Amino acid sequence: MKTKKVPIVWGVIGAGDVCEVKSVPAIYKNKDSIVKSVMRRDLSKAKDYASRHKIANAYDSADKIFDDPEIDIVYISTPPSTHAEYAFRAAKAGKAAYVEKPMAKTYQECVKMVEAFESANLPLFVAYYRRTLPNFLKVKEIVDAGLIGEIRYVNIEMNKTLQPNNVALPRENWRVNPEVAGGGYFYDLASHQFDFLDFLLGPVAEAKGFSVNQAGMYKAEDMVVASFRFENGVLGSGSWAFNTGKVSDKDLTTIVGSKGQISYPSFGEAKVILETDKNGKEEFQFKLPEHIQANLIQTINDELLGFGKCPSNGISGARTNFVLESILY
Percent pLDDT > 70 in the chain is 96
Contact indicator for 260, 148 with CB cutoff of 8 Å: yes
Mean pLDDT of 238-245: 96
Evaluate if residue 213 carries a pLDDT over 80: yes
Task: Establish if 323 belongs to a structural domain.
Answer: no
What is the phi/psi pair of residue 299, to 5°? Answer: -70, -30
Terminal-to-terminal C-alpha distance of the chain: 36
Percent pLDDT > 90 in the chain is 93
Q: Is 183 helix (H, G, I), strand (E, B) or coil?
A: coil
Report the CATH number that the domain containing residue 192 is assigned in CATH: 3.30.360.10
Q: pLDDT tens-digit profile of 177-205? A: 999 999 999 999 999 999 999 999 999 99
What is the C-alpha separation between 249 and 243, in angstroms, rounded? 10
Say if residue 252 is in the same domain as residue 176: yes
Evaluate if residue 1 carries a pLDDT over 50: yes
Say if residue 118 is in the same domain as residue 160: no
Task: Give the list of residues 6+ apart from residue 202 with CB closer than 8 angstroms, or none.
Answer: 230, 231, 232
The pLDDT-based confidence of 279 (bands split at 50, 70, 90) is: very high
Closest CA to 104 of 82, 122, 127: 82
Q: pLDDT tens-digit profile of 128-140? A: 999 999 999 999 9
Q: Is 17 helix (H, G, I), strand (E, B) or coil?
A: helix
On average, the pLDDT of the chain sits at 95
Tally of domains in the chain: 2
Q: What is the pLDDT of residue 5?
A: 81
Evaluate if residue 216 carries a pLDDT over 80: yes
What is the C-alpha separation between 132 and 289, in angstroms, rounded? 10
Evaluate if residue 171 carries a pLDDT over 90: no
Say if residue 82 is in the same domain as residue 213: no
Contact indicator for 246, 254 with CB cutoff of 8 Å: no
Say if residue 81 is in the same domain as residue 56: yes
Q: Where are the beta strands (DSSP E) in 109-150?
A: 124-126
Mean pLDDT of 54-66: 97
What is the C-alpha separation between 159 and 208, in angstroms, rounded? 20
Closest CA to 226 of 206, 209, 203, 240: 209
Q: Is 270 helix (H, G, I), strand (E, B) or coil?
A: coil
The letter for the amino acid at 63 is D
The pLDDT-based confidence of 167 (bands split at 50, 70, 90) is: very low
Dump the DSSP string for 272-285: EEEEETTTEEEEEE
Report the CATH number that the domain containing residue 58 is assigned in CATH: 3.40.50.720
Secondary-structure percent of the chain, ordered helix, strand, coil, rounded to 5:
35, 30, 35
Count the Cβ atoms, other than its own, within 10 Å of residue 294.
20
Mean pLDDT of 162-172: 55
Task: Establish if 168 belongs to a structural domain.
Answer: yes
Say if residue 272 is in the same domain as residue 158: yes
Say if residue 26 is in the same domain as residue 96: yes
Beta bridge partners of 95: none
What is the C-alpha separation between 319 and 107, in angstroms, rounded? 8
Q: What is the pLDDT of residue 2?
A: 59
Q: What is the pLDDT of residue 3?
A: 57
The pLDDT-based confidence of 4 (bands split at 50, 70, 90) is: low
Mean pLDDT of 87-100: 98
Range of the domain at 209: 134-288
What is the C-alpha separation between 48 and 137, in angstroms, rounded? 37
Mean pLDDT of 284-303: 98
As a whole number of Å, the CA-based R_g of the chain is 20
Say if residue 141 is in the same domain as residue 223: yes
Burial of 169 per CB tally in 10 Å (0-12, 13-18, 19+): exposed
Contact indicator for 288, 25 with CB cutoff of 8 Å: no
Say if residue 223 is in the same domain as residue 297: no
The pLDDT-based confidence of 173 (bands split at 50, 70, 90) is: confident
Task: Establish if 39 belongs to a structural domain.
Answer: yes
Q: Is 298 helix (H, G, I), strand (E, B) or coil?
A: helix
Evaluate if residue 292 carries a pLDDT over 80: yes
What is the C-alpha separation between 149 and 187, in angstroms, rounded? 31
Count the Cβ atoms, other than its own, within 10 Å of residue 18.
16
Task: Establish if 327 belongs to a structural domain.
Answer: no
Mean pLDDT of 33-61: 97
Contact indicator for 129, 106 with CB cutoff of 8 Å: no
